Amino acid sequence: MHDEMLQTLKELCALDGVSGFEDEVRSYIRKKAEPYAQEIREDINGNLMVFRRGSSNNGKTRMLCAHMDEVGVMVTAITDEGYLKFDFVGGVDRRVALGRRIFLGEARVSGVIGLKAIHLVTEEERKKVPKLTELYIDIGASGREEAERLVSLGEYGAFESVGEEFGEGFFKAKALDDRIGCAVLLRLIEEDPAADTWFVFTVQEEVGTRGAFGAAFALRPDYALTVEATTAADMPGLEPHKQVCAPGKGAVLVAMDGGTIYDRRLFEALREHAENKKIPWQMKQFISGGTDAKAIQRSRAGVRTAGIAAAVRYIHSPACVFSIKDLDALTALARGFIEITGGTEV
């Protein structure tokens, strides 16, 4: 399964899908899912909802969710000199953006994020991370007129990144948050699921979980599972209780994050399933982040929601890193959720 899923993940990460501009990713997923789907819907926001009939139907509606969008930039102004001013789309650490190559829009105009030359920086300025207002994108234009021929205000930009394996079973690429979840859902769509399931690929998670609310409101699920990427902080010198989770130690089972307290009975059922099936799993050791779960949980009179994730280092950067073997655990636990909710009432 590794090779096939890893190839899908590489293809997904190569696509640009900054929040609000998920078209490439959605088209790819739809094409991959169509041969297996009994129904496919796209809503006004751009969410893709794929229904796959399973081997049973207990009258409950279940929804597995992964988001298609990634962090990036948006052009906000063009200077007389032909440089682009911008803002971040989603949460991006300014430290990881410096000197990075950016592709802008469908035309994929190439640019580099730059700032004032080091020999012009004061000693005090060298001690601080540059402010967003001090950064710009250089697209090689000679002035405003040439820049305006290449790029429009409001254009999105995605980080350049080549997905590749390295070291002992690791993989690095942009947008692993949450193309990992998308790859897992695509794998499960190809199988014969244990119960009827909606597989939902959402938009605009990185800017406030905006797509998931509409999808959940439309489908009215009884059970929902978010399949995500989460911050791994297994860095040298960091106190163990702040390391959150670690790549290679299995699927991350989430009880609580910055936006959601997950359904306790579903959490315990997934933990028991992982133990019984010998699926490697771990807990988040530090409460951080947030996912589509918070929007799904609040979409109607309450949706019973669970969450699992892959541990990813350097999340929201052009070079996210995770352990390839965690794909198996994440897929197995997501498959287990369908089995659990497709049977006797949890």
Residues annotated in a binding site for Zn(2+): 67, 177, 206, 228, 316
Annotation says 11 is catalytic:
no
Cis upstream peptide for 177 (omega within 30°): no
Under DSSP, the state recorded for 129 is: P
Provide the annotated binding site: 67, 177, 206, 228, 316
- Assigned token pair, 3: 């090779």
Question: Do 210 and 204 contact (CB within 8 A), yes or no?
Answer: yes
Which residue out of 148, 205, 268, 272 is catalytically annotated? 205
Among 112, 68, 107, CA closest to 86: 112
Q: Give the C-alpha distances (Å, rounded to integers) separating 91 from 71, 96, 114, 264.
A: 7, 11, 19, 29
> How far apart (Å, rounded) are the C-alpha atoms in residues 323 and 66?
19
Question: Do 219 and 64 contact (CB within 8 A), yes or no?
Answer: no
Beta bridge partners of 158: 103
> How far apart (Å, rounded) are the C-alpha atoms in residues 166 and 40?
36
Task: Please write down the long-range contacts of 113-116, taking CB distance under 8 Å and 24 or more positions apart.
Answer: 113/73, 113/137, 113/138, 114/83, 114/138
Question: Do 138 and 85 contact (CB within 8 A), yes or no?
Answer: no
Question: Do 229 and 67 contact (CB within 8 A), yes or no?
Answer: no
> How far apart (Å, rounded) are the C-alpha atoms in residues 337 and 329?
12
Greatest CA separation found in the chain?
A: 68
- Assigned token pair, 53: 């009939």
Interacting residues of 99 by C-beta distance below 8 A, sequence separation 6+: 112, 113, 114
With H, G, I as helix, E, B as strand and everything else as coil, classify residue 110.
strand
Residues labelled as active-site residues: 205
